[in-house]
Chains A and B, each alone.
Chain A
Amino acid sequence: MLIATSIGMLVATLELYRSQSAQQALLATSIRTSGWVAYQAELEFVNTHMALEIARVIPGDAQLADLSLRMEILLSRLPILYDSEEGRMIAQIDLFKPRIQEIERLLETCLDQLQSLPPDAAARASAVSRWRDELEPYGPILKTMLRESVLFNEQIGERERQLAETPATIPVVLGFGSGGVLIMLLLLQLRRDRRALGEIRTARAAQQGLETSLKSLIDAVPAGIVLVRPGTREVLFANPRARSLIGSDGGHPDWAALTSAALAVSGETESDQGEDRKPLVLNRPDGRILSLLTVVRDMVWQAEPVKLIAMADLTKLRDTELQLVHASKLASLGEMASAIGHELNQPLSVIRLAAENALRGLDRSIGRDVTASKLVRIVGQVERAQRITDQIRRYGRLPSSQNQHFPLRPALDLAIGFVANQYRLAGIALLGSFDLPAGIEVSGDQTMFEQVIVNLLVNSKDAFAEGPRRSSAPLTVHVSAKIEGSVVAISVSDNAGGIAQIVLDRLFQPLVTTKPAEKGTGLGLALARKIVRDMAGEIVGGNRDDGATFVITVPFQIPDCAAPGGPS
């Protein structure tokens, strides 16, 4: 009975071992190069473990010879973990090294003792059991290393863990004794394993499909993408955009400059969220200076851990922003063209009639002072027309790229002056309350800042024209400015019914508008945010009471004044 059980167990154990090896081998092909060494060590550890189990049950010469071979192989694998090029890539390998060396010493002792084992089966079995118990605790180390070294496919990783844990259950089951139950359990395990094998194949197919889609995606994106082998910095792949940015194919020295610069700026502060985008300036051999924004990420490419460098061309971006500014200005200038035309026709009418009246007065030889008063009036109207054209000129001027200090109050007055007549004609009260220290200055491009205020005021004016209002209060827009700690807060609020829900959370995105095409561009607020941010400030908007409120906060200075503070 005992012999039958033992043979049954042996057969079952060998079956289990074979199926595990097959699965491990399959896993090995999917893991391939990356973590290969860690995987080999782990595989040999499992094999040694199995040899120990077998030799413990049947401590014959053949089994001990097999065990000795397994231990030798494992011993040869271990130093590769910390001594080879590939092994060095395992995360925190230096921390693992002392523990690995402990395993090596343990194996050497076992091998020594194996040479001089007594022929007595019971003594042999107890020696093998002792070795197994001593080696067992090191299993998790190798497993951890393997996991660290490879980016597992979710399913393969799960299956791997299951496989690695299975050997540990065998001794427990053996301890229970009954051969029949054991064999049944083992057969069940075999069935499960066969099913799992199918799952692994499917997972691998899915992984390959994913890699193909990933490649076509990377080819298509407008950002430059380069895959680099971490140690050697060899360029493994570059998408068309990256090739056109650098202007040559991989392997060229320019690429080395790019990849090492990108990896260097990405540095140690590699984090996977938010602000890890690093600006990078690159001199191309043709004299072009590229200003790139780079992101570096770890990823697995064809089963190998690589660095992915993504880069956006900032010079291009800057151009686009400038175009946006221009488009927006032209558009709002168009919006205002009719108002401007109307305003210019006003002084022209007065001039025309005053000149006519003066002329007729001359005919009827009316007093010189009457004629003189007409001429004074004409000069006044010409000045008025000139103020209008000046405003348009200010508005149309190109923005300067440098920030300059400018006095806040006159800028606000100019912006308000620009829309004042439109407001008057629309019957909207435009109230200002400024609680500012004398001479307060902010830093930026004055005309751009004025444009931000004009945009807000035009938006409020449009809002009154747009929909039915809930309140019957007089149409009012309030512009206020006051110090709030280290910034000055400029707010524009109206009682025109508020911002529509559908645009509320996308207000500052370009091309978001509720207005008809001839009136709105959806660029006003997008541009406002850009301009205010260029001034190191922020703009927010939302609904309050019965209307919209926009608040700009920007840093300020007070020239010839000790400390920026509240108004005295």
Chain B
Amino acid sequence: MPPRSVLICDDEPELAEEIAEFFIALGWSARIVNSGPEALRLLESGFSPTFLMTDLRMPGMTGEELIARVRRLPAHLRPRYVVVVTGHIWETMTPAEFDADRLFTKPIDPDALVAELDRMTGALPAGPYRGEAS
């Protein structure tokens, strides 16, 4: 299995760190950013992760805005999958509302998260994130 990578975007540094550590322990490569613009900059510089995992409520640029911007990136710069992790307590949300592939609610169950991401990479054809290029 090729090494998988994840870009974690959360304004909560401690949480981002713990998630990254968790993936690294599983043999992934993981990078952390604490805001949307930082994430965009990293993606534009050519770091093309398997997953972009982003929080929704962040100061400055929200998760939704980040995803919209990511969708407009050239195809080779886009992550393959976009995953939303949110602390919102509404239960009626669907990933489609945010144009994401998956949606997880905090507090995250790490094992379930990893199992799902594995399933995605195994079950879904490889390729860049299917956002519509503008």
List A residues at the B interface (Cβ < 8 Å).
337-338, 341-343, 345-346, 348-354, 356-357, 360-361, 364, 377, 381, 424-427
**A345 with B22, Cβ < 8 A, contacts A350-B14, A425-B59 known:** no
Does B15 count as interface, using CB distance less than 8 angstroms? yes
Does B4 count as interface, using CB distance less than 8 angstroms? no
Nearest CB on B from A186, distance (A): 93
Determine which of B18, B58, B105 lies in contact with A353 in the assembled complex, contact meaning CB atoms within 8 Å: B18
Q: Tell me, in angstroms, the Cα distance from A381 to B89 when the chains sit together.
A: 19
16 A-B contacts (beta carbon < 8 Å): A337-B89, A341-B87, A341-B88, A345-B106, A346-B12, A346-B87, A349-B15, A349-B87, A349-B108, A353-B21, A357-B22, A364-B25, A377-B18, A424-B59, A426-B59, A427-B60
Nearest CB on B from A319, distance (A): 34
Q: Give A381's nearest chain B residue, CB to CB.
A: B14
Chain B 7-25 per-residue mask, 1 if CB under 8 angstroms from chain A, else 0? 0000010110011011001
Determine whether the beta carbon of B106 is less than 8 Å from that of A354. Answer: no
Number of residues on chain B facing chain A (CB within 8 A): 23
Residues of chain A with a CB closer than 8 A to B57's CB: 342, 425
Determine whether the beta carbon of A342 is less than 8 Å from that of B89. Answer: yes
Residues of chain A with a CB closer than 8 A to B110's CB: 352-353, 356
Q: Tell me, in angstroms, the Cα distance from A345 to B88 when the chains sit together.
A: 8
Listed residue (A338, A342, A351) with the most chain B CB atoms within 10 angstroms of its CB: A342
Residues of chain B with a CB closer than 8 A to A361's CB: 25
Determine whether the beta carbon of B87 is less than 8 Å from that of A352. Answer: no
* B residues 52-66 touching A (CB-CB < 8 Å): 57-60
Determine whether the beta carbon of A342 is less than 8 Å from that of B87. Answer: yes
Nearest CB on A from B33, distance (A): 17
Residues of chain A with a CB closer than 8 A to B19's CB: 353
Q: Tell me, in angstroms, the Cα distance from A427 to B36 when the chains sit together.
A: 13
Determine whether the beta carbon of B58 is less than 8 Å from that of A352. Answer: no
Q: Tell me, in angstroms, the Cα distance from A381 to B18 when the chains sit together.
A: 13
Q: Give A380's nearest chain B residue, CB to CB.
A: B14
Determine whether the beta carbon of B25 is less than 8 Å from that of A360. Answer: yes
Residues of chain B with a CB closer than 8 A to A352's CB: 107-110
Q: Tell me, in angstroms, the Cα distance from A426 to B61 when the chains sit together.
A: 10
Q: Tell me, in angstroms, the Cα distance from A381 to B14 when the chains sit together.
A: 10
- Interchain pairs with CB closer than 8 A, number: 69
Nearest CB on B from A465, distance (A): 13
Nearest CB on B from A366, distance (A): 9
Q: Give B108's nearest chain A residue, CB to CB.
A: A349
Residues of chain A with a CB closer than 8 A to B18's CB: 350, 353-354, 356-357, 377
A357-B25, A364-B25 known, 16 other contacts, Cβ within 8 Å: A341-B88, A341-B89, A342-B57, A342-B87, A342-B89, A346-B12, A346-B87, A348-B107, A349-B15, A349-B87, A349-B106, A352-B107, A352-B108, A354-B14, A356-B22, A357-B22
Residues of chain A with a CB closer than 8 A to B21's CB: 353, 357
Q: Tell me, in angstroms, the Cα distance from A350 to B18 when the chains sit together.
A: 7
Q: Give B109's nearest chain A residue, CB to CB.
A: A352
Determine which of A337, A338, A345, A357 lies in contact with B107 in the assembled complex, contact meaning CB atoms within 8 Å: A345
Determine whether the beta carbon of A427 is less than 8 Å from that of B107. Answer: no
Across the A-B interface, give the 4 residue pairs with the lowest CB-CB distance, nearest first: A353-B18, A341-B89, A345-B87, A348-B107
Determine whether the beta carbon of A348 is less than 8 Å from that of B106. Answer: yes
Q: Tell me, in angstroms, the Cα distance from A338 to B90 when the chains sit together.
A: 8
Determine which of A338, A349, A427 lies in contact with B88 in the assembled complex, contact meaning CB atoms within 8 Å: A338
Determine whether the beta carbon of A338 is less than 8 Å from that of B14. Answer: no
Q: Tell me, in angstroms, the Cα distance from A372 to B73 when the chains sit together.
A: 42
* B residues 88-117 touching A (CB-CB < 8 Å): 88-90, 105-111
Determine whether the beta carbon of B22 is less than 8 Å from that of A353. Answer: yes
Nearest CB on A from B37, distance (A): 13
**A351 with B59, Cβ < 8 A, contacts A338-B90, A342-B89 known:** no
Q: Give A364's nearest chain B residue, CB to CB.
A: B25
Nearest CB on A from B79, distance (A): 21
Residues of chain A with a CB closer than 8 A to B12's CB: 346, 349-350
Q: Tell me, in angstroms, the Cα distance from A484 to B36 when the chains sit together.
A: 44
Q: Tell me, in angstroms, the Cα distance from A350 to B25 when the chains sit together.
A: 16
Q: Tell me, in angstroms, the Cα distance from A356 to B90 when the chains sit together.
A: 26
Listed residue (A350, A351, A353, A426) with the most chain B CB atoms within 10 angstroms of its CB: A353
**A427 with B15, Cβ < 8 A, contacts A338-B89, A341-B87, A360-B25 known:** no
Residues of chain B with a CB closer than 8 A to A424's CB: 59
Q: Tell me, in angstroms, the Cα distance from A184 to B60 when the chains sit together.
A: 97
Q: Tell me, in angstroms, the Cα distance from A348 to B110 when the chains sit together.
A: 13
Residues of chain A with a CB closer than 8 A to B58's CB: 425
Q: Tell me, in angstroms, the Cα distance from A433 to B25 when the chains sit together.
A: 47
Q: Tell me, in angstroms, the Cα distance from A338 to B57 when the chains sit together.
A: 12
Q: Tell me, in angstroms, the Cα distance from A342 to B21 when the chains sit together.
A: 23
Q: Tell me, in angstroms, the Cα distance from A330 to B23 when the chains sit together.
A: 42
Determine whether the beta carbon of B15 is less than 8 Å from that of A346. Answer: yes
Q: Give A353's nearest chain B residue, CB to CB.
A: B18
Residues of chain A with a CB closer than 8 A to B107's CB: 345, 348-349, 351-352
Listed residue (B15, B18, B22) with the most chain A CB atoms within 10 angstroms of its CB: B18
Residues of chain A with a CB closer than 8 A to B109's CB: 352
Determine whether the beta carbon of A345 is less than 8 Å from that of B59. Answer: no
Q: Give A338's nearest chain B residue, CB to CB.
A: B89
